[in-house]
Structure 1
Amino acid sequence: MAARTRNGSPRLGPSYELALFDREFLLSPSMRGVRLQVECMKADEALRAWGVRSTLVVFGSARAASGGPERHARWYDQARRFGRIASERGGALHPVAGIRDNVIATGGGPGLMEAANRGAHDAGAPSIGFNIRLPREQLPNPYTTPELTFQFHYFAIRKLHLAMRARALVVFPGGFGTLDELFEILTLRQSGRMGAVPVVLVDAAYWRRLVNWDALAEDGMIGPDDLGLLHFAEDAEAAWHLLEIGGVRPRA
């Protein structure tokens, strides 16, 4: 017989609580699949509400600030310029029948991600910040559109949203996180899991010093044609020109 309180009503345990409000249950290992789905759908619903059909994804270091060393400041300036150019010419600024194409999307943090979002903000266009919870908490930069500023727990879901609407990838110099995201997209392209999405690396000297791309082909680690997945640009204008050649333009 169930235990009862002093007034005679049954004494109920956590199992009686509605599952929707049972935090311990929702955070349990058995609910991980549900949490993944909910995290995916929350961002998806917000992006649909804003009519975001496609994005231009910009990666780059969180440590390269506008007031930093000269080279960092130049990268910041060019990322900001690219965010503005792409927003003005790519269609994000002028939705068609409520649909926006080529909206700037970044990891939402500081540095070169901030710069790209800031460029879109300069143009008066919306932009997206896909933030991730980190040991050192990453706060959103102030230039992402508030309704399009997301926080993810799972890297996998964040990467899904970075990739699933991407019309192009523009990568400014960065470290481990930037490399991780770059090679994620390159692998999707190489394996045929992603369409003809142009990948542009800004500052060829940096990228050629960091990775010996030709050696990968020479040693048979990638096919010679795989080198064609990469394009190099020296500044924002050149990066946008490469995207236009790759077919990135406002959709009717």
Structure 2
Amino acid sequence: MTDTSSTSRPNVAQLASHSYRLAVRDSDFLLGPSMRGVRFLLEFAKADEVLRAWQVRSTIVVFGSARVSQGGPGRHSFWYDQARAFGRIASERGGAFRDGEGVRDNVIATGGGPGIMEAANRGAQDTGAPSIGFNIVLPHEQEPNAYSTPELTFLFHYFAMRKMHLAMRANALVVFPGGFGTLDEMFELLTLRQTNKAPEVPIVLVDEGYWRSVINLDALLEAGMIGPADLGLFRFAEDAETAWACLVEQGLEPVSAPLSAKPKEI
């Protein structure tokens, strides 16, 4: 009987070599620094392919604190309830359900985690509409909330690629009270709008009192750090219904546009 054990084969060292692995199956290679650009591409392509398959043409992005909870202290419960109500309103009126052409517009998209993100995804689920969760790998692992559509729940390593997916289909941005992460995402979009690197999408900040207490916008203007027109890049709203009204007043179209409409570029 012929001995086919690896120890008897003269090319055992070659077969075991890392260089002999198929590149696509070589995790050491794929996760190395030289393949960072490829990993960027993969993170873009995977989510893009799924969203195209679901015919998601545009989204309404909802930002806000992961620390807010239903029944939480202070105004936390109010913010949670309003984010949930907004997810429901936007899904019912915005075109997240398939129309006659099969496309979906103004689909709720969040960072996929707890708090305000959970509430907005939950509001969409209340109506039976799909919603998106763009999760990110963090040192203290964030798990996806239970309300984003499972097939539209993504996980990113790179903040930059996650931000691109949040921005590239956005028809509008609604920002509920939050901390560093929320401020980061909000100013990212405001900067893109200020520099005309993004289309003219309506931006609404919910709870004017909160935002004016944490950001002195008048001081920025008085110091010449922003111009008067920059304060027109966003509006304030106090609840879900007025937030939706603000978006519509600023040009958000509740009914899906023709399928031939050109996609936005970012």
Establish whether TM, by shorter chain, passes 0.5: yes
2:220 to 204, 216, 221: 216
State the distance in 1 between where 2:91 and 2:112 align: 16
CA shift for structure 1 position 45: 0.4
- Aligned: 1:182 with 2:186: yes
State the distance in 1 between where 2:70 and 2:141 align: 21
Q: Deviations over 1:168-192 (max 9, x none)?
A: 0000000000000000000000000
State the distance in 1 between where 2:229 and 2:235 align: 13
1:32 aligns to what? 36
CA shift for structure 1 position 5: 5.2
Alignment partner of 1:247: what SS? Answer: coil
1:11 aligns to what? 13
State the distance in 2 between where 1:60 and 1:9 align: 58
State the distance in 1 between where 2:100 and 2:218 align: 42
State the distance in 1 between where 2:156 and 2:58 align: 20
Q: Deviations over 1:51-97 (max 9, x none)?
A: 00000000000001002114100000000000000000001024341
CA shift for structure 1 position 10: 5.1
1:103 aligns to what? 107
Structure 1 stretches of at least 4 aligned residues deviating more than 6 Å after TM superposition: none
Q: Which amino acid aligns with 2:10?
A: G
- Aligned: 1:49 with 2:63: no
Q: Which amino acid aligns with 1:103?
A: V
Q: Which amino acid aligns with 1:7?
A: R
What stretches of structure 1 of length at least 5 have no aligned partner?
A: none
- Aligned: 1:251 with 2:252: no
CA shift for structure 1 position 6: 2.5
Worse-matched range after superposition: 216-225 or 53-62: 216-225
What aligned pairs does 1:68-83 form with structure 2 within 5 A after superposition? Answer: 68-83=72-87
- Aligned: 1:136 with 2:140: yes
- TM-score when scaled to structure 1? 0.96
1:5–1:11 contact (8 Å) kept in structure 2: no
2:174 aligns to what? 170
Alignment partner of 1:225: what SS? Answer: helix
State the distance in 2 between where 1:15 and 1:63 align: 46
2:162 aligns to what? 158
1:203–1:235 contact (8 Å) kept in structure 2: yes
2:137–2:156 contact (8 Å) kept in structure 1: yes
Q: Deviations over 1:139-197 (max 9, x none)?
A: 00000000100000000000000000000000000000000000000000000000111
Alignment partner of 1:158: what SS? Answer: helix
- Aligned: 1:149 with 2:175: no
What stretches of structure 2 of length at least 5 have no aligned partner?
A: 1-5, 258-266
1:118 aligns to what? 122
1:63 to 63, 67, 70: 67
State the distance in 2 between where 1:36 and 1:205 align: 39
CA shift for structure 1 position 16: 1.0
State the distance in 2 between where 1:28 and 1:96 align: 46
1:95–1:101 contact (8 Å) kept in structure 2: no
**Identity over aligned pairs, percent:** 68
Worse-matched range after superposition: 92-101 or 69-78: 92-101
